[in-house]
Amino acid sequence: MSDKYMLALDVGTRKVTGMLLEQSESGFDILAVETREHRTRAMLDGQIHDIPRVAEVVSEVHNVLQQRGQCKISRAAVAAAGRSLYTQRGRAQLPAVSSKRVLQEDVLRLEYAAIQQAQQQLLSGHVARASFAEKHNCVGYSVIRYELDNSLIRNLVGQRGNSLACEVIATFLPRVVVDSLRGVLELAGLTLQSLTLEPIAALRMVVPEEMRRLNVALVDIGAGTSDIAITRDGTVFAYEMVSVAGDEITEALAEKLLLNFMTAEEIKRKLLKTELLTFKNILDEKVSLSAGKILKELEEAIDFLAGKIARAILDKNGLAPQVVFCVGGGSLTPGLTEVLANKLAMDPSRVTIKGKEMLGLLPEKTKKYQGPELVTPLGIAHTAISGDALHFYRVEVNNQSVDVMDLGNSRVSDALLAAGISSRELVGLPGRGLSLEINGQITVFPGERGEMAEIRVNGELVNLDTAISPGDKILFISAKPGAEAKVNVAAVLSRISPYTLQLNGKEKLLQPPLFRGEEKLASTSELFDRDKLRILKTMPLSWVLTELGLEAELQGGYVVVTVNGINQQIPYGPKVIRVNGKISVPDSYVSAGDFLETADDGSYPTIDCLTDERPHQIELTVNDKKVIAFIKEVDYSINGKKVPLGTPLTAGDRVEISVVKHEITMADILNIINFQATPSLGQNRLMLRLNGREAQFTTSVKDGDCLEIGWTI
């Protein structure tokens, strides 16, 4: 906490209690507590009905505490009653860096992710958007379990691992409940510091974590609502709200004794302090009755209230808990705990009223801060101090104000979730698909993908991961569905494995024809849903030859090629074709994987027929070793690529034939044999001999000559 002072406000149905705390070296100390009652019934069953009237009382409490503390307070931590409460479990799992220890902020991020998952489930669950249209806010949560690398662990902080997980039970209230609280604070000159739920705040004070392995029910009985939290196996597993509480007793007293509500409330509070009570009824009659007589009149109402609470506990817990702790001003109703114990078939000693002393948050303070009516404001303060309360800020989504949990790194997705925008609206639905039956097998073609939603923050196009800040204006345009699938033959064939054949040792791929009934379809033919199509598994050789462009070769004829820039017409005779080694005719059939060969009848043109020029070489003996030297070189190329003799010609080929003739001299032989140009030590004269005679560098050589080359003295 950065502020020196904290204001915790318990805005109840009957009264407002404010608690001012000051930060010290040992924590926070209570400076003052102030309680003021509503002058009218501005709140009913925990819901604020008259914001200005409630704000007046909050302002009074706020001003008194500022005067007592001689300080200025601008923010308040508050709690909401459990009216119209929804609970939902949520789970989140996040990766961790095994070399780094887990920090508290990592755990908080994990908990908030679990809360968001719970909220998402609630929005898409049985309540759905139809009944969730008024929008709900998360107002509190309890951790059910932590996991480190899929193993249960009590505390993640300081641990190391690869995976962190957390399961929470989150509580949600209608937005109107939270909005009305915010409205009261704003009229009273305050802003919302943090928010929690009344039973969560009370539970923190009365049932600390080490006690939660026991099956304990905490009942916070206020004026308008009785909020229930139940622990078991080390966690809080259920919350519930009963919309009857202390006002039920007050109203019964007013009805029995003909009193106005405020007078009945005053008498109820004096029942345990005064033996004889004197008052005036609505007829202006002065009446004196003993406390015992009045309590007799209230037995039916007390029985009704206890019965409602007992049934709620049994519905959630399945059986009577081990202990029931009662807090809140309504718990002081005479005889209520005894009747509640009877309804639950429990030992009366195990249904008891508890105050602040269970936790000892501020042990130095006097007993004046230990009553059950102060448990909730103490819990609100303690929840805010510990950082476990929820913090919110406001943004606009499509011109509607939305409260977003302040995660420190909130994203657009958080705002959309808080606005009740379903994940189905983020991605457009795909268009209707189309199914075809191909050779008895069903093949499905999906429709086009829908368009993604458009999201803008303050006018700029963003995505779901974009960070947001208080006051941002978010525009959300829902995704659009995709177009229906439209399929033609080419699209089907793209999914069908082509025929694979071997032609003269090279792999060839052929797309088979497609039939609808007896109709052969073109590649552009449109197909329709549930069409029955047929693809042949074996094909006529004539079709294969056409697809491979081999008909002309098999009939004989001529090819036109360009030789050194001049067109030449080269005739050839017919070829034969073999399928898997056997000569075949066009009417025979070919299957995938077959081997095809075309064979020349001896007259099919190759590059050899274009020229009589051939390379020529001579053989020499140099220093008693045979050496080959070319005196004539011929290069053949087709379409710019060098080829050997015997290469077949194809119509349109560009052929280049170049001839280079050489006269071989002794100097050329030196290059051919890579003669060592540097003599050895003591040798400095080059010896050149041809057939035993002295020779020069320019002396010509011919086939069969014997040469001696070397260094001498």
Residue at a domain's end among 429, 454, 477: 477
Q: Is the predicted pLDDT of residue 215 greater than 80, yes or no?
A: yes
Q: What are the structure tokens assigned to 600, written together?
A: 């020349």
Nearest Cα neighbor of 41 from 19, 62, 15, 61 is 15
State the Cα angle at 89 between 88 and 92, rounded to 5°: 135
Q: What pLDDT is attached to residue 61?
A: 92
- Other C-beta atoms lying within 10 Å of the C-beta of residue 8: 29
- 690 pLDDT exceeds 80? yes
Q: 706 has which bridge partners?
A: 621
405 and 509 assigned to the same domain: no
**707 and 676 assigned to the same domain:** yes
Nearest C-alpha neighbor of 575 from the set 504, 661, 494: 504
**Domain total in the chain:** 4
For the domain that residue 419 is a member of, what is the CATH number? 3.10.20
Indicate whether 664 belongs to any domain. Answer: yes
Contact indicator for 583, 576 with CB cutoff of 8 Å: yes
The residue with greater pLDDT, 109 or 639, is 639
Same domain, 574 and 630: no
- Supply the DSSP string of 587-604, one letter for each residue: TSEEETT-EEEEE--S-S
Three-class DSSP category at 262:
helix
Burial class (CB in 10 A: 0-12, 13-18, 19+), 671: exposed
Domain boundary among 548, 576, 605: 605
Helix axes 198-206, 375-386, angle to 10 degrees: 90
Residue 309 shares a structural domain with residue 437: no
* 227 vs 128: which has the higher pLDDT: 227
pLDDT at 553: 66
Q: Is residue 127 a part of any domain in this protein?
A: no
If asked whether residues 426 and 504 sit together in one domain, one would say no
Residues 511 and 579 in one domain: yes
Residue 620 lies in a domain: yes
Give the structural domain span for 685: 616-712
Strands (E), 413-544: 434-438, 441-445, 454-457, 460-462, 473-477, 487-488, 499-503, 506-510, 514-516, 519-521, 526-527, 532-535, 538-540
Q: What is the pLDDT of residues 514-569, one digit of tens each?
A: 888 878 888 788 888 888 888 877 888 878 888 787 776 677 677 788 988 888 88
Residue 666 corresponds to which amino acid? M
CATH code of the domain in which 255 resides: 3.30.420.40
Tell whether 585 and 623 lie within a shared domain. no
* 682-692: average pLDDT: 79
- Among 456, 477, 498, identify where a domain stops: 477
User: Quick one: average pLDDT of 475-501?
Assistant: 83
Which amino acid, one-letter code, is at 219? V
Predicted pLDDT at 362: 45
| Residue 591 sits in the same domain as residue 635 | no
Report which DSSP code applies to 73: -
pLDDT of residue 507: 86
- Cβ proximity of 402 and 46 under 8 Å: no
pLDDT > 80? residue 502: yes
The mean pLDDT of 482-504, rounded to a whole number, is 82
Q: Does residue 408 sit in the same domain as residue 318?
A: no
Quick one: pLDDT at residue 456? 92
214 shares its domain with 323: yes
The residue ranking higher by pLDDT, 328 or 307, is 307
- DSSP-based helix, strand, coil % in the chain, nearest 5: 25, 40, 35
Report yes or no on 25 lying in a domain.
Answer: no
Instruction: Please indicate, yes or no, if residue 559 is contained in any of the structural domains.
Output: yes
Paired sense of beta strands 216-221 and 323-327, if any:
parallel
* Phi/psi-derived region of residue 279, left when phi > 0, alpha when psi is between -120 and 50, beta in every other case: beta
Verdict on whether the full-model pTM lies above 0.75: no
pLDDT of res. 440: 80
Structure tokens at 251: 């109203």
**CATH code where residue 566 lies:** 3.10.20.30
**Rounded distance between C-alpha atoms, residue 50 and residue 632, angstroms:** 114
Of the listed ranges 219-233, 401-415, 573-587, 685-699, the one predicted with least confidence = 401-415
**What pLDDT, on a 0 to 100 scale, did the predictor assign at position 133?**
36
**Residue 569 CB burial class (10 angstroms; 0-12, 13-18, ≥19):** exposed
The pair of three-digit structure tokens given for residue 226, joined into one six-digit string: 């009785």
Residue at token pair 């008909």: 551
pLDDT, position 131:
45
Q: How many CB atoms lie within 10 A of CB 518?
A: 6
Same domain, 441 and 562: no
3-state secondary structure of 512: coil
pLDDT for residue 423? 60
Say if 239 falls within a structural domain: yes
Q: Is residue 400 within 8 Å of residue 419, measured between CB atoms? A: yes
| Residue pLDDT, tens place only, 340-387 | 999 999 999 999 887 645 444 444 444 455 566 677 788 888 877 776
**Contact (Cβ atoms closer than 8 angstroms) between residue 564 and residue 655:** yes
The token pair that represents 16 in the structure block: 């407002």
Residue 57 covered by a domain: no
User: What DSSP character marks residue 628?
Assistant: E
> Do residues 331 and 229 share a domain?
yes
pLDDT tens figures, 576-628 = 778 888 877 777 888 888 888 877 655 677 887 787 778 788 888 888 888 88
Domain of 655: which CATH number? 2.170.130
Asked if residue 456 lies in contact with residue 475, where contact means CB atoms within 8 angstroms, the answer is: yes
Q: In this predicted structure, what is the pLDDT of residue 56?
A: 92
Q: With respect to residue 176, please indicate whether it lies within any of the assigned structural domains.
A: no
pLDDT, tens digit, for every residue of 21-56? 888 776 778 888 888 888 887 777 667 888 899 999
* Residue 294 pLDDT exceeds 80: yes
Q: What is the pLDDT of residues 131-177, one digit of tens each?
A: 443 467 666 677 888 999 989 888 898 898 889 999 988 877 777 77
Alpha-carbon distance 708 to 623, whole Å? 5
Is residue 14 over pLDDT 60?
yes
